[in-house]
Structure 1
């Protein structure tokens, strides 16, 4: 649950930061989804790499 909430908050922060610089909803959405996916699946990715 902690990882879900962290991903949700960080993805929202990424969305806002990208929106502030680009004013592009497409790039903001991509950044938010990518951030959430990396946070949520980061443990599995790191386990495979290490």
Structure 2
């Protein structure tokens, strides 16, 4: 299952298991509530490819 995200201002908010997959293991984004993280647009674009 792929995490889904939505653009909020200048950040892409991603839920699901994003915190474990991207923040804890690789250092991308900044943590939000629960398992959600906020990625910059550049980080989100990098992770798409």
TM over 0.5: no
What is the TM-score with the length of structure 2 in the denominator?
Answer: 0.27
Highest relative contact order (Cα 8 Å, sep 6+), 1 or 2?
1
What is the TM-score with the length of structure 1 in the denominator?
Answer: 0.26
Point out the structure with the larger helix share.
Answer: 1
